[in-house]
Amino acid sequence: MKSKIEERLENVDGELKGRIALITGGTSGIGFATAELFLREGAKVALIGRNSDHLISADRQLKVNNEENILPIQCDVRNETDILKAFEIIIKRFGKLDIVVNNAGVVYSAPIEETSLDIWNNTNDINNTGYFLISREGYKIFKKQGNGGVFVFVSSDNAVKPSKQSVAYNVSKAAEVHLSRSIAHEGGQYGIRSNCVLPGAVFGISSVWTNEYRRARAKVHGFDPNMLEEEYKKANSLGVIIYPEEVADIILFLVSKRSAKMTGNVLVVDGGNTGSYVR
């Protein structure tokens, strides 16, 4: 008879075999790294992106050895009609859905007195309304299927440690955490789990760190924009830079059987910043 440990560790390689995942914001950064990892672990992935050029490029890269397992869908997460159509396409192609990774997001840097209503609304439309709409439709499918399902919300350590001149982003990320907890609270009876990952500043290949945004954040902290990565290292106790692939590893854990009894949690991946210790 196998021990509980043996059962958990069995088939760790390819642990997502046969599972269907939806990833929003999947064309770069954390979303793309997660798609790569999920495909490697045997999942089939619906890749959601708003920019058609970025979606085509990501699809081309991911389809190497995965032609039948990747489904690119152009979709604006602020648009309810787009989202309904995306879920229809996924179910028609794959027949089911097991995993939803809410990752699409936007960030602005502006002092609160210079945060326009447009900045506020656009940030919350994508980071909150988009997460809600994707979650609502995913929840419906999970409940109908009757086999449970898993949500992972890619939030930010800003959800618990507000950063200066990022009020709209800070608030939107805090709201994502509570949306995830609400789903965990309501969905547990159906075997639906929901957890959050709270990354710190993630570097590597990402659409977030435009030259404009790098300069803005460097100005806020008094850094040299060309030394941003090195300066951010100094803000965490391990003195490390966070990369998309490392966040993807945590997301894999949260959708795997290894975390089967975890829901409503937040896992912070920021190298140890005392301001974002969950308490």
Whole-number Cα distances in Å, 166 to 108, 113, 162: 6, 11, 8
Q: Is 169 a catalytic residue?
A: yes
* CA 67 – CA 113 distance, rounded (Å): 49
- CA atoms of 263 and 35, how far apart (whole Å): 22
Phi, psi of 277, deg, nearest 5: -65, 125
Residue with tokens 């854990």: 253
- Cα 266 to Cα 156, 183, 229, 277: the distances in Å are 10, 13, 24, 10
Q: Among 169, 190, 232, 277, which one carries the catalytic annotation? A: 169
Phi and psi, residue 166, nearest 5°:
-145, 40
For residue 10, with 0-12 CB atoms within 10 Å meaning exposed, 13-18 middle and 19 or more buried, which class applies?
Answer: exposed
Q: Which two tokens stand for residue 225?
A: 């924009």
CA within 13 Å, CB half, 210 = 7
Q: 100 near 134, Cβ under 8 Å?
A: yes
Rounded distance, CA 225 to CA 13, Å? 40
Q: Provide the annotated active-site residues.
A: 169
